[in-house]
Amino acid sequence: MAAKEKTLEDLFLHTLKDVYYAEKQILKALPKMAKAAESEELRLAFEKHRDETEGQIERLEQVFQILGKAARGVQCEAINGIIEEGKEVMEDFAESPALDAGILAAAQAVEHYEITRYGSLKTWAGELGLRDAVKLIEQNLEEEKKTDLLLTKLAEARVNTKAA
């Protein structure tokens, strides 16, 4: 018996599970990053993003409902690696003037990963005619872009200068 040919719908569901897992891992990591941050502004940015991440997870669960599938993640080695790098920075640069710059860079690596995932999911949802899913994914994508922009502004205005 031949294996079933994989479709864009299969790829969409797999990537949805991937980003769902990623968001759950990020939700666990953000409080640790906030606690490690020396800058009050950076700590507040991480706390705000933790709250946004909860909403993003809820929207992803709505997308699973649209598909008639259970909301569950699939192991994502990419996000595991990015988060692990962030942990290493927090350990290796603890009490260093460069700590916040390192944590911020790790957070931006997370944001960039999420932006690529949500961008692909949004496009595929459109191709699959999942208009309600497009709207939900678009909300997540825009939040990730705003967080990335905020982190860039913090890095350029204060965090990188302090590290130098």
Q: What is the pLDDT of residues 59-90, one digit of tens each?
A: 999 999 999 999 999 999 999 999 999 999 99
What pLDDT score does 156 carry?
Answer: 87
Distance CA 27, CA 32 (A): 10
Distance CA 23, CA 139 (A): 14
CB-based contacts of 94, cutoff 8 Å, min separation 6: 36
Judged against a pLDDT cut of 80, whether residue 92 lies above it is answered with yes
State the average pLDDT over residues 144-157: 92
Q: Specify the 3-state DSSP secondary structure of 72.
A: coil
Give residue 2's pLDDT band: very low, low, confident or very high (50, 70, 90).
low
What pLDDT score does 96 carry?
Answer: 86
Long-range contacts of 54-60 (CB under 8 A, 24+ apart): 54/27, 55/143, 56/23, 56/139, 56/140, 56/143, 57/20, 57/23, 57/24, 57/27, 59/136, 59/137, 59/139, 59/140, 60/16, 60/19, 60/20, 60/23, 60/136, 60/140
State the average pLDDT over residues 45-53: 94
- Report the predicted TM-score, pTM, of the whole model to 2 decimal places: 0.92
Position 60, amino acid: L
Judged against a pLDDT cut of 70, whether residue 1 lies above it is answered with no
Q: What is the pLDDT of residues 119-135, one digit of tens each?
A: 999 999 999 999 999 99
Percent of the chain whose pLDDT exceeds 70: 97
Length of the chain: 164
What are the structural domains, with CATH classification, of the chain? 8-163 (1.20.1260.10)
What pLDDT score does 151 carry?
Answer: 93
